[in-house]
Amino acid sequence: MPLASFILRRLLQLIPTLIFILIVVFVLVRLLPGDPTSAILGDRALDADVERINRELGLDRSLLVQFGVFVESVFTGDLGRSISLKVPVTELIAQRLPITMLLTAMAALIALVMAVPLAFWAALQRGRAADAVIRGAFQIGLSMPVFYIGLILLTVFGAKLGWFPVGGYGDGFIEHVHHLFLPALTLAFSLSAIIMRNLRSAIIGVVDAEYVQFARAKGISSRLILLRHVLRNALISTVALFGLSIGTLLGGAVITETVFAVPGAGRLMVDSIYGRDYPVVQGLTIALAVLVSVTFLLTDLFQAWLDPRVAR
Amino acid sequence: MKLFSITALTAAVLLGSSVSALALERGGVMTYGRYTDSLFLDPVLNDANVDIWILTNIYDTLIAPSKDGLTLEPSLATEWKLNDAGDEVTLKLREGVKFSDGTPMTTDDVVWSLTRAANPENGIWNSLDASINKVTAPDSSTILISLKYPDPTILSALSVFNTAIMPKAAFEAMPGTTDKEKAEAFAQKPIGTGAFMLESWERGATMKLVKNPNYWAMGEDGKPLPYLDGLTFEIIPDDATRILKLQSGDIQGAEFIPFARVAELKADDKLNMELFPSTKVNDIIINVRPMIGDRENPLSDEKVRQAMNYAVNKDAIVQVVTYGVGTPLTSFMATTTPMHSGTTPLFAYDLEKAKALMAESKYPDGFSTSILTLAGNQDELATATALQQMWAAIGIKLEIKQVDNASRTDQYRAGTFDMRAGAWTNDISDASQITSYFAYSPTIDALHSGWKSDEVDGLFVASQKEMDPTKRAEQFARIQDIFNASGPTIPLYETPYPVALSKSVNGFYQIPLGNNVFREAWMAK
Amino acid sequence: MSIALYRTASLPRPLIFGGAILAASLLLAIFPSVFAPYDPNAFDYAALLQGPSTAHLMGTDNFGRDVLSRVIHAYTIDMQIAVFATVFPFLIGTVIGALVGYVGGISETIFGRIVDAVITFPFLVLVIAIVSILGPGLLNMYIAVGVVGWVFYARIIAAEVKVQKRLDYADAGRAMGYTHMRIIFRHLLPNAITPAVVYWMTDMALAILLGSSLGYLGLGAQPPAAEWGVQIADGKNFMATAWWISVFPGLAIVLTGLGFSLTGDGLAEVLRTKK
């Protein structure tokens, strides 16, 4: 199948997904106990204030009307205004989402750099000391809560050694990368452990499989076997897993963002849920959905390239 | 009738007292770590402490609360007078005050700002100014406020953030048709007469303020305040990171230090661990309605509530929750609140008495109930965990429900909660605000608890018109006696504001109402 | 006895070590009171924040509770979390993934959309929503994790099955007239399941960790129950002054996680040799 039409079809398929998400998020945020007014006004609001502000926000209108307003705002690309911050939702997303994208991309890169070579080494040294050490180390990385790792990294490499800033985001691209290195490393710990374990196991599986034995019997040099057969075949499930993990990272790095004081989309999302800021939750969910779908598309393309049999 | 009149003291004399003998240094940008960002920088339409507590650096009010929160000081008004009947205020405006954009402040701005603040259609603070009937300007430097009825709190109300003076013309020039829309545009780049002005604001990350070159108040060195060139707020939500950043010298101040770490930071010789007196009280709010939904509510039994109160070891809670920083409450309001009465901690721990009271109650065998705490709030969780233990001793099984703020507010307002952890800070330097929410049932059903005392309601109404401070204090003392003995709360402790500052920082303070005051802050190089 | 020894000797070493750790964990989870020296919820105001000593091997926390006893009692909840939060996603995901991978075509397209919808929907929105609507508690946490978790297994399995079904032996099965179900579950799945099992074992450790993330947000296990994640979150303010509150539960997570991952690797070896 030609690449362009594959991509086009996938993008078209995105539309029903987005409509589904649109409906779910709209319903879900309204199922949450409480409403934006009591979330913002807190304990001191009088009943009259709550009523008046609900009216001002249009929250006294029927759900159907509210949904109509929401859908209209999505199609005009305006997404409404934040209830608590009183700025356009698009402005907030434009400010926060790129930060999270950069953080996730850096985490993914660091994780791959750590995991892929070590997975190969561990697989080839299967059962020996190197294998045990590598797996033990990744296991510890996987088992530590992110705020724990984060705080240790901040204390050692930030406060003590001064190699990296103690949290924050900085100004300009170079500074952003510098600021985001430690949080990205924190995220990479668990991500790389997942990838390493999966890839190691897959490599062992492929190496053991008959066709590699067969190729070896035919006398193809082992380096070539590794590259052509092993890597390609072993990466299939790993890439699928990698895509999924990146997807969850994009919207779920909230604790890392909190510990490192990175003003990313995860924190905006949680603050907005807690604040019942319906327009922000809705808009950000849609934006994240598009972004994650694109990530999936990329990993699917890569998977198809690895193994043409996967693509139809 | 007491007559308030303060002659125009020079600001230098007033402000000098807080600055130490150290040689004052000007310049520099101070970075202050906050746990969360502000939401909306409009004095009238904002809703939260995160706004209120820094607004006063950008906007000024006519009168200012003093550093200890107990008295009033001149600000944009140099003198004021409440007439004998208590229904008319005359204020003299300070000469030569300019907004941060350079335009002079006029009586027009003042009349408009106060009228906007008192408008019942605007925001949630207007009830503080409910007595205002009409604001006029007889001449170019005088403001006359006529009241609908005598109001003993009006002068304090004029020191509250929502009556800050804003530039009418600049506000009205904003895009939008309604006051709300204009305010949203204006608050993106607010203009006030305060010591600082907003330079840039990256939501959730940093807010940069710079010195207002037109500020009216003079510093100790005879030159205009503020001493700092700039003030940057950095948002660092994680407590541990905020402290680490302070210790590494990236920032010069950090708010909301967890009590668990106060002692540790006190021992750090590079830091000043400040505990600024506050009006903050912490308690447990009890729903006392006979029925909650369709089930019987044991908490409606006054004997049960007294037993629960006696079973709580406040000293132990002060220890495990505040690490000795807090002090047990002596009334439902903090000792820093004017007209607070009471000298001994309420319901001193007495387990035997508690058991006896339980035996006398309608529930001698105990019962199960629940408490709502704020998810992620360690102090509330620790309090609830301790209560769970303490009440188990009198047969009460307590379920702790951690929920987010909106869920809790929802149940709170609907009156469907059993108990919740509560905290309160005054916005006005007067006993009336806390009393109206805690004890006066028409406001919010006494903390949405369903508690009601006709005597308290009557006393409160009287106190709101009582111009004799002695009689008013008596009324509040009686209200406190009744509420403290039979009210819908478990009074726990009051706590100061824990702020850690770099040793180089001088002159910063937080007043008991919470306002962070940076105008006299300076940094030693 | 000698037979048992002989049999275990033929098992892969990781499986033996992993199994031993998990067996010990299970023992602690079922009989915590036998091993815990103190009541895990008993306060001791006279012994707040005490470091490790002979009286309290792992010290005491901010309420004077014995950390060791809490770590032991937490096994009950944490082993439950590890198993129940992952076993249903594993089973459901595996079955759906195998079917989708085998059938392909339109089912794959629909599946792809569902995966997109589930994964792209922010997990935290879902968790907070479920916890807020249904109330906090472990069961609701399983629901939240399960709603999302199955997708991972399904996607891994589907990709593998797709590869396997084109290999010779699947064609042979079809030529021999086996039913599709038999081909999927008897022939393809055993060959495709290894990565899912490996991931499952990692997932168990991740599920326990999720407890600590939710504990950080205040949505985890409800007090006074001891749970490692919540213990670590509670110890956060004391990392500098009373490290033992959070380090020991952390070690318990590492050890248990190691048990799961070794078991997973061992199982993978067994599955491969069975081929």
Burial class (CB in 10 A: 0-12, 13-18, 19+), A233: buried
Q: What is the pTM of this model?
A: 0.88
Q: Please state, in angstroms and rounded to a whole number, the distance separating the CA atoms of residues C213 and A145.
A: 7
Q: Please state, in angstroms and rounded to a whole number, the distance separating the CA atoms of residues C99 and B122.
A: 60
Contacts C222 to B, Cβ<8 Å: 399-402
pLDDT at C175: 77
Number of domains into which chain B is organized: 2
Q: What is the pLDDT of residues B187-196, one digit of tens each?
A: 999 999 999 9
pLDDT at B386 over 70: yes
Domain C82-274 superfamily per CATH: MetI-like (1.10.3720.10)
Look up tokens 């629909």; give the residue. C110
Cβ pairs bridging B and C (under 8 Å): 67
Q: What is the pLDDT of residues A58-105, one digit of tens each?
A: 888 888 888 888 888 888 888 888 988 888 999 999 999 999 999 999
Record: contact C216-A145, CB cut-off 8 A: yes
Record: contact A39-B412, CB cut-off 8 A: no
Q: Please state, in angstroms and rounded to a whole number, the distance separating the CA atoms of residues B136 and B143.
A: 6
Q: Please state, in angstroms and rounded to a whole number, the distance separating the CA atoms of residues B246 and B249.
A: 5
Task: Quote the domain boundaries for residue A8.
Answer: 2-76
Residues B63 and B180 in one domain: yes
Return the higher-pLDDT residue of B56 and C206: B56
3-class SS string, B345-396: CCCCCCHHHHHHHHHHCCCCCCEEEEEEEECCCHHHHHHHHHHHHHHHCCCE
Chains that touch B (3 or more CB pairs under 8 A): A, C
3-class SS string, chain C: CHHHHHHHHCCCHHHHHHHHHHHHHHHHHHCHHHHCCCCCCCCCHHHCCCCCCCCCCCCECCCCCEHHHHHHHHHHHHHHHHHHHHHHHHHHHHHHHHHHHHHCHHHHHHHHHHHHHHHHCCHHHHHHHHHHHHCCCHHHHHHHHHHHHHHHHHHHHHHHHHHHCCCHHHHHHHHCCCCHHHHHHHHHHHHHCHHHHHHHHHHHHHHHHHHHHHHHCCCCCCCCCCCHHHHHHHHHHHCCCCCHHHHHHHHHHHHHHHHHHHHHHHHHHHHHHHC
Residues B363 and B468 in one domain: yes
Residue C236 touches partner A, C-beta closer than 8 Å? yes
Q: What is the pLDDT of residues C227-259, one digit of tens each?
A: 888 888 888 888 888 899 989 998 998 899 889
Residues A66 and A97 in one domain: no
Alpha-carbon gap: A251 to the closest alpha carbon of chain C (Å): 5
Residues B98 and B65 in one domain: yes
pLDDT at B98 over 60: yes
Residues A53 and A171 in one domain: no
Residues B419 and B325 in one domain: yes
Task: Quote the domain boundaries for residue B68.
Answer: 2-16+24-231+504-523
pLDDT at C99 over 50: yes
pLDDT at A309: 59
Q: What is the pLDDT of residues C33-46, one digit of tens each?
A: 999 999 998 888 88
Residues B311 and B210 in one domain: no
Residues B326 and B226 in one domain: no
Domain limit, last residue, from A76, A110, A135: A76
pLDDT at A132: 86
Q: Is B466 within 8 Å of B149 (Cβ atoms)?
A: no
Residues B207 and B348 in one domain: no
Is A275 among the domain residues? yes
Average of per-residue pLDDT values in chain C: 84
Residues B78 and B119 in one domain: yes
Is A84 among the domain residues? no
- Kindly give the residue spans of alpha helices, DSSP state H, lying in A76-164: 89-124, 129-143, 146-153
For residue A81, give the DSSP letter.
B
Q: How many CB atoms lie within 10 A of CB A181?
A: 19
Residues A20 and A118 in one domain: no
Q: What is the pLDDT of residues B255-298, one digit of tens each?
A: 999 999 999 999 999 999 999 999 999 999 999 999 998 899 99
Residues B470 and B516 in one domain: no
pLDDT at B76 over 50: yes
Number of domains into which chain A is organized: 2
Which of C121, C208, C275 is best to mutate for the A interface (most A CBs within 10 A)? Answer: C121
Residue B490, strand partner residues? B284
Residues A231 and A286 in one domain: yes
Residue A277 touches partner B, C-beta closer than 8 Å? no
Is A7 among the domain residues? yes
Domain limit, last residue, from A76, A101, A128: A76
Instruction: Select from B378, B467, B451, B452 the least CA-distant residue to B419.
Output: B451
Is B204 among the domain residues? yes
Q: Between β-strands B489-502 and B327-328, what pairing exists: parallel, antiparallel or unpaired?
A: antiparallel
Alpha-carbon gap: A217 to the closest alpha carbon of chain C (Å): 19
pLDDT at B12 over 50: no
Q: What is the pLDDT of residues B354-366, one digit of tens each?
A: 999 999 999 999 9
pLDDT at B16 over 50: no
Residues A121 and A64 in one domain: no
Q: In this structure, what token pair is assigned to residue B446?
A: 């006494």
Q: In this structure, what token pair is assigned to residue A58?
A: 């249009």
Average pLDDT over residues B142-164: 94
Q: In Å, how far are A38, A87, A203 from A81, measured between CA atoms?
A: 18, 5, 50
Cis? peptide before B226, omega within 30° of 0:
yes
pLDDT at B3 over 50: no
Residues B133 and B104 in one domain: yes
Q: Please state, in angstroms and rounded to a whole number, the distance separating the CA atoms of residues C11 and C3.
A: 13
pLDDT at B332: 96
Query: Pick from B237, B406, B412: which is nearest to A261 by CB?
Result: B237
Is A148 among the domain residues? yes
Residues A65 and A170 in one domain: no
Average pLDDT over residues A13-30: 86
ipTM confidence: 0.85
Residue C121 touches partner A, C-beta closer than 8 Å? yes
Q: Please state, in angstroms and rounded to a whole number, the distance separating the CA atoms of residues A101 and A244.
A: 15
Record: contact C218-B381, CB cut-off 8 A: yes
Record: contact A166-B250, CB cut-off 8 A: yes
Is A143 among the domain residues? yes
Local confidence band at B7 (pLDDT 50, 70, 90 cut-offs): very low
Local confidence band at C3 (pLDDT 50, 70, 90 cut-offs): very low
Residue A7 touches partner C, C-beta closer than 8 Å? no
Alpha-carbon gap: A191 to the closest alpha carbon of chain C (Å): 11
Domain limit, last residue, from A76, A102, A135: A76
pLDDT at C264: 85
Average pLDDT over residues B78-103: 94
Average pLDDT over residues A213-226: 66
Residues B151 and B287 in one domain: no
Local confidence band at A251 (pLDDT 50, 70, 90 cut-offs): low
Q: Is C133 within 8 Å of C140 (Cβ atoms)?
A: no
Is A205 among the domain residues? yes
Residue A305 touches partner B, C-beta closer than 8 Å? no
Alpha-carbon gap: A182 to the closest alpha carbon of chain B (Å): 13
Average pLDDT over residues B464-488: 94
Residues A257 and A178 in one domain: yes
Specify the 3-state DSSP secondary structure of B506: strand
Residue A151 touches partner C, C-beta closer than 8 Å? yes
Is A83 among the domain residues? no
Return the higher-pLDDT residue of C68 and C110: C68
pLDDT at C222 over 90: no
Q: Is C73 within 8 Å of C40 (Cβ atoms)?
A: yes
| CATH number for the domain harbouring residue A210 | 1.10.3720.10
pLDDT at A37 over 70: yes
Q: Please state, in angstroms and rounded to a whole number, the distance separating the CA atoms of residues C40 and C67.
A: 8
**Residue type at position C64:** G
| CATH number for the domain harbouring residue B338 | 3.10.105.10
Is B376 among the domain residues? yes
Residues A65 and A106 in one domain: no
Is A81 among the domain residues? no
Q: What is the pLDDT of residues A124-135, one digit of tens each?
A: 888 788 888 898
Residues A49 and A101 in one domain: no
Helix (H) or strand (E) holding B280: strand B271-286
Which of B238, B246, B282 is best to mutate for the A interface (most A CBs within 10 A)? Answer: B238
Is B260 among the domain residues? no
Q: Please state, in angstroms and rounded to a whole number, the distance separating the CA atoms of residues A39 and B413.
A: 11
